Amino acid sequence: MKLSALQAGFNLDHIAFESPTPNELSKFYKNFIMMEHVEKKNQEIICEGQNRKVILIKGKKKKLSYAGFSCRNRKNLEQFKNFIIANKVPFSKFVNSHLEKGAFSIIDPDKNIISFGIRKKTKIAFKNKFCMPLQHLTFSSRDVEQFEHFYCNMLGFKTTDRVIHKNRSLATIFLTSNHEHHTIACFKSNKIGIDHYSYEVSQWENIKILCDYFSQQNIKIIWGPGRHGPGNNLFIFIEDLDKNWLEFSAELEIIHDRKVNEWPQSEKTLNLWGKGILRS
């Protein structure tokens, strides 16, 4: 039996970045993003909080090393593996140590390493219970059409919304692997890499709490508060020490069964309340 990524049900579990100064960056995540547990292991610095994990590796600034998605159960994982084998998607030799044995990895058309597996259970008792799990990862690509084809047709993510230029070319694509509006997305850009990644904070009240918290820590909010068109979610953005964009999102649309929405490429699509940051 085969299951698509959507049918199997995947959540974003962890993200690994390269950084020229991973030790300094780990202090930022510990002190300001509430990653209580910081551990050095196998050339990696693992920063972990309640349902959120960022891995830092010595290397180039703002470069994704790999990302991991976790599945509901092992049966679904195996049936998803059958799905991508049937689609002749080659497996990478990369071994992701942050997922249970039996995980596997692929390389997408922009050379991003994406792993799929079962989340490893942690024995860490986190004191900070603020609800802020990792939720989605958004890329930049020169070829958004190719990105959509690979993730939708070859892996079985579901397209939820498209943002369209006046010439009908794709500006942005939103795709999901569960019930949430998107777990992965991609902006048309003249560069290849990460645009941003996001934490889900559940409700508007928590956005306000974070705004006050970041103000107290002298961390500037670089975009927002606002509301995206696609996904209808509330948001704020900050930057870490390497200028990676971190989004904190609330009240993201839950998808049941609807047609793909199309939006015009405009500032209002990106922010219904005010200024939008266009990538193309």
Do 40 and 140 lie in one domain? The reply is no
Do 259 and 159 lie in one domain? The reply is yes
In a domain, 275, yes or no: no
Last residue of a domain, one of 92, 117, 142: 117
Do 21 and 81 lie in one domain? The reply is yes
In a domain, 144, yes or no: yes
Do 143 and 208 lie in one domain? The reply is yes
Do 97 and 160 lie in one domain? The reply is no
In a domain, 280, yes or no: no
In a domain, 157, yes or no: yes
Do 161 and 260 lie in one domain? The reply is yes
Could you tell me the strand order of the sheet in which 261-264 lies? 223-227, 234-239, 245-250, 193-200, 134-141, 184-188, 170-176, 158-164, 261-264
3-state helix, strand, coil in the chain (%, to 5): 20, 40, 40
Do 101 and 156 lie in one domain? The reply is no
- Are the beta carbons of 155 and 4 closer than 8 angstroms? yes
Per-residue pLDDT tens, the chain, 280 aa: give them. 999 999 999 999 999 999 999 999 999 999 999 999 999 999 999 999 999 999 999 999 999 999 999 998 999 999 999 999 999 999 999 999 999 999 999 999 999 999 999 999 888 888 887 889 999 999 999 999 999 999 999 999 999 999 999 999 999 999 999 999 999 999 999 999 999 999 999 999 999 999 999 999 999 999 999 999 999 999 999 999 999 999 999 999 999 889 999 999 999 999 999 999 988 8
In a domain, 76, yes or no: yes
In a domain, 14, yes or no: yes
Last residue of a domain, one of 69, 92, 117: 117
Do 266 and 141 lie in one domain? The reply is yes
Distances (CA, A) of 128 to 1, 30, 31, 35, 56: 41, 11, 12, 9, 21
Reported pTM = 0.96
Kindly give, in sequence order, each residue whose CB lies less than 8 Å from that of residue 28, ignoring residues fewer than 6 positions away. 240, 241
In a domain, 189, yes or no: yes
Do 141 and 111 lie in one domain? The reply is no
In a domain, 125, yes or no: no
Last residue of a domain, one of 67, 91, 117: 117
How many domains in the chain? 2
CATH of the domain at 219: 3.10.180.10
Q: What angle do CA 122, 133, 205 make, to 5 degrees?
A: 135
Range of 225's domain?
134-270
For the chain, the first-to-last Cα distance in angstroms comes to: 41
Do 10 and 44 lie in one domain? The reply is yes
Do 141 and 228 lie in one domain? The reply is yes
Do 264 and 143 lie in one domain? The reply is yes
